[in-house]
Amino acid sequence: MAVAEVFEGIKHSILADIYGFEGFRPGQEQVVDCLLAGNHALAVMPTWAGKSLCFQVPALVLGGLTVVVSPLVALMQDQVAALKLAGVAAETINSSRDRADNVASWRNVVAGRAPILYLAPERLMTERMLEALAKLPVRLIAIDEAHCISQWGPSFRPEYEDLTRLMNLFPGVPIAALTATADEVTRQDIAAKLFGREAQIFVTGFDRPNIKLSVAAKRDWRRQMTAFLDERRGESGIVYCLSRRKTDETAAYLRELGFDALSYHAGMEKWERERNQNAFMNRDSVVMVATIAFGMGIDKPDIRFVLHADLPGSVEAYYQEIGRAGRDGESAEALMIYGLDDIRMRRAFIEEEDGGEDRRRREHQRLGSLIGYCETPSCRRRTLLAYFGEDSGNCGNCDMCLDPADISDGTDEARGVLSVVRATGQRFGAGHVVDVLRGAISEKVTRAGHDRLAEFATGAGRKSEEWRSIIRQLVAAGFLYLDVAEFGGLKLTERGWALLKGLETFQYRRDVVDRPASRSRKKTPLVSTQTLTDAEATLLRRLKDLRANIARSRRVPAYVVFTDKALMDMARKSPCTSEEFAEVHGVGAAKLKGLAEPFLAVINERL
């Protein structure tokens, strides 16, 4: 796609002068160019990839007004604060602010003094706001957390459904939809609803290689959790629990053990949730114990771990939740503890949903894929990425790579499963395949004539759950594809056909759910992207103290002032003058003018 030469120069000037960056991160520039060319874009990018820049740069290049749709007040306010510190007069209008403040923000927008306006979907899609925006030069619309549009996404919000009217309400205005979490079905659903499929889809990859992935069978979950957290005292992290009661009890238990632990769930008063979230964002070493109500839009860069004390609801939800760790690019860890009770509870939750039979069927299949991930005998990252359609080799940074499980040859069993899948037409789910394997006489089996197949009852010697576990592992290993869009039918992949032909073998884990706890695990050391000397490390601590004081005085999260990466670059380069300070990563013109003096004072004190 060719972008006008004038845009080329402007976008790079904005990147350097406002954000202090020398170049775009992988995947960003393609999205920027798409929007500058007037086209719609759906961007699926990892949480650390800089999605906001993909619409903020075009907003400043195009001029006029860019409307950003964001699901959370805290996220809007943090992004507006960060833009203002960078010298961009962004505004937000939301329910947490005084009416006078909202009116003042709107006047800035109408007067053309604020090029970016953040709104919640509920406020944007009121007739009054839409009529008012129609009178303004809207040049771009950006929808953050776009998976909320899709009922197949992990955080479906009906309020987002109304956003599907935007393309008709603002004809000719490019729309950017951005998310870190969307499988193929969800991507196509978003594109169809939001753009009528008239959009370019950019998928820059799902890998977060700095996050170590581990799964443990649940035995004594409190003991397992405590052992994990004891090795990480002094670090910030999140512990996810399934219920509100367990969340409160776990936070209290951790406080008794000396952790700075807080709780967060939808049953708490709003002021209490906000107080705890602010403490987590602005203090070091806080452990937030939370339900899934916590997390969307949390952009704290130094979260070192995410622990799931219960099984998440899907691979997408799991991916999104662990993605809150290690956003600074440094080493982080994700541990999931799960058991049979978790699986039963998740199945029950799905059955209780009001989304209709089709949605329940899909959610059961998504949960099955997550269980397959838990049971995989091979590299977890490879299994996780395969779910999103991304191929990779073994990562060397997961429990299966670092501490391989005891596995058995299951090639014959796998061929038995694949033969039944093939013989039954590659359109039935695991339950039917297991019935045919075990020789179960059911109405569905006899109606389809599958009791007359040569493969019928060839696996009668194994229990149903054993076959289900093998099937889940075959899905996880990429021999079978679970077609979520087609009612969860099992289909052979290229690898599956190769296995049937004798060109592949299959290794699997026996009794996965009840296997002993994994052997002792070593904590992954925190690996810095820039090694600091002792003197530089001392300076970094002083710079962090200064940053914390400035953040408190301005009532913004510390990372909004400067990221850890910027402070590390500052400590390493030790600039003594404004000119040298301008060369630090993340220092644009506004931060050079407004923040250089106190930081240079700290740096020069040691010289």
Instruction: Report the half-sphere exposure of 486 (CA within 13 A, side-chain side).
Output: 10
CATH code of the domain made up of 5-203? 3.40.50.300
Q: Give mean pLDDT, residues 80-105.
A: 93
Q: State the burial class of residue 256 (Cβ atoms within 10 Å of its Cβ: 0-12, 13-18, 19+).
A: exposed
Whether the pLDDT of residue 379 is over 80: the answer is: yes
The residue that leads in pLDDT, 510 or 111, is 111
Question: Is 534-605 CATH 1.10.150.80?
Answer: yes
Which residues lie closer than 8 Å to 212 by C-beta, 6 or more apart? 331, 332, 333, 334, 397, 398, 399, 524
pTM for the structure as a whole: 0.74
Q: Does this chain's domain 408-496 share its CATH topology with 534-605?
A: no
CATH code of the domain made up of 211-402? 3.40.50.300
Q: Which of 134-148, 475-489, 581-595 has the lowest mean pLDDT?
A: 475-489
Q: How many residues does the chain have?
A: 607
The residue that leads in pLDDT, 474 or 142, is 142
Instruction: Write down the pLDDT at residue 44.
Output: 92
User: What is the rounded radius of gyration, in angstroms, for the C-alpha atoms of the chain?
Assistant: 26
156 band by pLDDT with thresholds 50, 70 and 90: low
3-state percent breakdown (helix, strand, coil) of the chain, nearest 5: 50, 15, 40
Which residues lie closer than 8 Å to 296 by C-beta, 6 or more apart? 71, 72, 75, 145, 155, 320
Instruction: Write down the pLDDT at residue 3.
Output: 53
Domain extents for the chain?
5-203, 211-402, 408-496, 534-605
153 band by pLDDT with thresholds 50, 70 and 90: low
Tokens of 221: 């979950």
For residue 113, count other CB atoms closer than 10 A to its CB. 10
The residue that leads in pLDDT, 526 or 299, is 299
Instruction: Report the half-sphere exposure of 478 (CA within 13 A, side-chain side).
Output: 21
- Average confidence score pLDDT of the chain: 88
The residue that leads in pLDDT, 229 or 483, is 229
Q: Could you report the per-residue pLDDT of 420-454, keeping only the tens digit for each? A: 999 999 989 888 999 999 999 889 999 999 999 99
CATH code of the domain made up of 408-496? 1.10.10.10
Instruction: Write down the pLDDT at residue 485.
Output: 55
